[in-house]
Structure 1
């Protein structure tokens, strides 16, 4: 009732004001709306009509704004509820994953993606779940979707590179890592993983370039030493590839560079010897290896010298080298064993028998020793002793002992190579380490860096008898 009275009062006041001002402003104003249509309005009517139109326009504008605001608030509330639901599903999926309920986790993540197919976190987790099941196709698809949503997301690119590597699509994995380096050229993880992939693909020159950058990075002391060791190995491999491709001068430069950084790196010394052999300078190769042995006392160098001297037709020289080494280290059973083995190889039966029969050492671990002694007894017609030695050799439950063992992973090999095929470490092979000092072998093993990808390189062209 009050509103009705107020409305009547307001209408009355407006009517009185309108009449009053119309009397004060007599006359009319012609308003043309078209060439043929016109309106006759009093000045007061025109003013009031203009005010009414203005109020109407303001009302429409305010109405549109409020309506837009209401629609936006509704959409925001809807998106917020959807986000909360997806977040709840994502967290539930994570809990299922961490609880090792992988099947449940997969279903929950898929529900989350059905609501929001562009949620990066869910795409990453579900992709990682598929990768854990070795379903690399689905993992790659999901992580590629995440990459399309956020092309500069480094975490997504790292996971995608892992998927591609697992699927053995190494070139594509390299491209993903390169995309990371375009975004952040100093990204340490991407550099390390790219280097490891290049090593796997034996692209040694590119791996060496990255390793130079890693060595210059501000790494902790332990990692810096491992990086320096790996740099030496990459330099050696680049030199080895140049030598195989017929570029001895380039190979020599890299071998010398490896030696300059690590004077104990035997593969590079042997590589220099191989260059001299490639150039037909066998005597020069022998001289270098004899100098290296004088510095390193490495049995592996003696093995190489043995092959070279025999190629030159100078068995007396290698015998002299072995005898000199034994004179300097008379308590070394490894030297005595290999000299006896050389005598046996050269058909010097009496010398081999005298030396090996007097050899003191853990014969119960060395099947090769008993096999050689059995043959020597046969040559001397000591049948009972030969049978006894053969029984000892055949009685081993372990594999026949081989001449080289990696100090890092304990892999055994009858052929020497600059890098262990099993663990990828350079300069890690030793000859019969169980006959040497256990403490020394432990120290060498402790000093080795972390393992690298498996190596499929070319072995040295010599092996023991």
Structure 2
């Protein structure tokens, strides 16, 4: 306004303005300037308030979206915790609530798929996990669960294809490689399973590499057993030799290799294998197998010699000394059997074998009453095997030997103990 008054006072000549082709008006120069000035102020104010309005709207919208997203995450987390606690009914409710807020929430869709698979509705699980995969093509979790669905449906080819797709996304991650290996084992495709396990060994972190190498040895052993069951004795022999080259402590392989040699008519190699096996493992089980092979050939003196040899290798092993006493009894050398029994410190006096040997010695020395007493003690324990087995990994007990612990699945972990 100050500018308007100033220009008016100066009485500057009016400015002609054409407002229509034939109409012209004259205005003081101060009026257009005032109009221009006033219009600019209004424009600036409108722009300011518009920007402020839009910013407020965006902030409100973002706040609402953030609040909804947080709510979805809260519902999903609660559902996931319920699923972890095996409360699948409650978990399903929370997953559905999350999806009511966000229909494309992939984790909740995956969670529902897991519940469907748990309930045996595998086809529904496949649909849900396929939907999650469609929403997020890079969702490793969706793909892994879809692979598990196909395994449950025994569609192993599809499962392998899905896990290979996961490998394409994550590369050197172990889980998809392990699942492919497990599928190949389930379908008894040992050759491909071994190849898969070799890949696992190559990518396993240092802390897990030893375990995976042991698994590779176990798979090679299983493949050899499969060949043995199919009557492919020479292939089985070569496979078992490969196992022992990889792990010279693998007790089941020595036992099976000795069996294979026996079946192809090479008892001499059976005995050599078991001698080598005991040197490597100091396993009582291998020693007992050696006794069995020699006894079958009627070479009882060699049984004694082998136990004496084993005693020299393991002079503090009382089980070997007890077995040597038994070997002496079997060749009627009761004096040496008595010497071995008397040298024990009593830690094996509770065992069935101890009472049997004591009874045989007393019988051989014509101490019939004492012999009957010892046999009676042995009979009290006859429900128990002389040899039982304890897993060095989990502590599980078994009265039968197998290459793999039935309790924890660990290979080459059963150790023989007298009972």
**TM-score, length-scaled by structure 1:** 0.63
Residue 354 of structure 1: which of 322, 335, 338 is its match? 338
2:317 aligned with 1:332: yes
Tell me what 2:20 maps to.
13
Asked if 1 retains the 8 angstrom alpha-carbon contact of 2:352 and 2:386, the reply is: yes
3-state SS in 2 of match to 1:214: helix
Tell me what 2:267 maps to.
282
Residue 191 of structure 1: which of 177, 198, 209 is its match? 177
Tell me what 1:265 maps to.
250
**Distance in 2 between the 1:105 and 1:276 partners?**
58
Tell me what 1:21 maps to.
none
Asked if 1 retains the 8 angstrom alpha-carbon contact of 2:325 and 2:336, the reply is: yes
Tell me what 2:128 maps to.
142
After superposition, the Cα gap between the structure-2 partners of 1:374 and 1:177, relative to the gap in structure 1 and judged at 3 Å, is: farther
Asked if 2 retains the 8 angstrom alpha-carbon contact of 1:136 and 1:163, the reply is: no
Asked if 2 retains the 8 angstrom alpha-carbon contact of 1:403 and 1:414, the reply is: yes
Asked if 1 retains the 8 angstrom alpha-carbon contact of 2:110 and 2:142, the reply is: yes
**Distance in 2 between the 1:339 and 1:111 partners?**
73
Residue 425 of structure 1: which of 410, 414, 417 is its match? 410
3-state SS in 2 of match to 1:259: helix
**Distance in 2 between the 1:123 and 1:92 partners?**
13
Deviation at 1:186, TM superposition (A): 3.7
Question: In the TM superposition, what are the counterparts of 1:55-134 in structure 2 within 5 Å?
Answer: 85=68, 88-95=71-78, 97-98=80-81, 103-114=89-100, 116-128=102-114
Asked if 2 retains the 8 angstrom alpha-carbon contact of 1:365 and 1:401, the reply is: no
Q: How many residues align?
A: 361
Structure scoring higher RCO (CA < 8 A, sep ≥ 6) equals 1
Ranges in structure 2 where 5+ consecutive residues have no aligned partner: 1-18, 24-56
3-state SS in 1 of match to 2:405: coil
Q: What's the RMSD between the two structures over aligned residues? A: 4.3
**Alpha-carbon displacement from aligned partner over 1:190-220 (angstroms, at most 9, x marks no partner):** 1123224444554332221012112222x43
Tell me what 1:159 maps to.
145
3-state SS in 1 of match to 2:219: helix
After superposition, the Cα gap between the structure-2 partners of 1:108 and 1:208, relative to the gap in structure 1 and judged at 3 Å, is: same
**TM-score, length-scaled by structure 2:** 0.69
